[in-house]
């Protein structure tokens, strides 16, 4: 942040009185601009036969890779409403929302990722503006090497394992920044390697 959204003056990093960290503070009107993590909310839409709905991304980051429908929560919205909206926007798919299944803290990018179990209500889905393709996958057909985000691949792995075991439970985990491969500039990086660098 460079400028104050209240008055347009420059901001500077300063520790306000009674605070314990640096904030962007306006040099003129002294407004403190707090910045907090973003919530990424999505669903795991399951059809009657057990197949799972995935979307192939038409946007960056991870253009061309597959993901569960998910996106940033909006102000004034509940988490389950966000999951329903994102599924509708990205896959034109209607779901009945189920239990919260996954929550990943990603402190290195200031994100919290949450995925709900969901029942796909009909087969009348199609790519939304942010998707190239939308498709139902059985476990053995999941494009494991072409998944866009770690919370998505970790969630799907656990989902199929627990479903098989008949013991599906909410799980929370903390992810650290992945190690980046050396010599990025010297090699052509397949999209698949780039995808692991979340």
Closest distance of CB 21 from Zn ion, Å: 20
Instruction: Give all strands (DSSP E) within 17-167, no chain letters.
Output: 23-26, 32-33, 38-46, 52-57, 66-67, 70-72, 95-106, 111-120, 131-137
Scanning residues 28 to 87, which ones bind Zn ion (CB under 5 A)? 29, 31
Residues in the interface with Zn ion (CB under 5 A) total 7
Asked whether position 7 contacts Zn ion by CB under 5 A, the answer is yes
Q: Minimum Å distance from CB 13 to Zn ion?
A: 15
Minimum distance of Zn ion from residue 28's CB (angstroms) = 5
192 binds Zn ion (CB under 5 A): no
The DSSP secondary-structure symbol of 123 reads S
Which residues 9-38 are close enough to bind Zn ion by CB under 5 A? 9, 26, 29, 31
Subset of residues 119 to 148 that bind Zn ion, contact rule: CB under 5 A = none
- For residues 92 and 35, what is the distance between their CA atoms, to the nearest angstrom? 32
Residue 70 Cβ vs Zn ion, minimum distance, rounded to whole Å: 34
Q: Give the C-alpha separation, 80 to 122, whole Å.
A: 19
Residue 128's nearest CA partner among 87, 94, 83, 95 is: 87
> Of 4 and 41, which has the nearer Cβ to Zn ion?
4
- CA nearest neighbour of 89 among 121, 46, 49, 134: 134
Site for Zn ion, rule CB under 5 A: 4, 6-7, 9, 26, 29, 31
């Amino acid at each position: 942040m460079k400028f104050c959204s209240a008055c347009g003056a420059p901001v500077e990093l300063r520790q306000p009185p009674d605070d314990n960290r640096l904030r962007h503070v306006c040099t003129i009107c002294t407004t403190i601009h707090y910045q907090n993590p973003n919530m990424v909310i999505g669903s795991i839409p399951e059809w009657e036969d057990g197949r799972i709905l995935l979307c192939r991304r038409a946007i960056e980051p991870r253009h061309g890779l597959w993901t569960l429908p998910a996106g940033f929560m909006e102000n004034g919205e509940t988490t389950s409403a966000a999951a329903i909206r994102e599924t509708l926007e990205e896959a034109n798919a209607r779901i009945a929302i189920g239990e919260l299944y996954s929550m990943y803290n990603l402190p290195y990018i200031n994100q919290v990722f949450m995925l709900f179990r969901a029942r796909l209500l009909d087969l009348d889905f199609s790519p939304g503006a942010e998707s190239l393709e939308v498709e139902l996958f059985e476990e053995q057909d999941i494009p494991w090497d072409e998944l866009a985000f770690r919370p998505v691949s970790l969630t799907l792995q656990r989902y199929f394992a627990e479903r098989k075991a008949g013991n599906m439970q909410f799980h929370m985990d903390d992810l650290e920044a992945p190690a980046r491969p050396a010599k990025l500039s010297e090699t052509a990086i397949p999209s698949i390697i780039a995808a692991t660098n979340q």
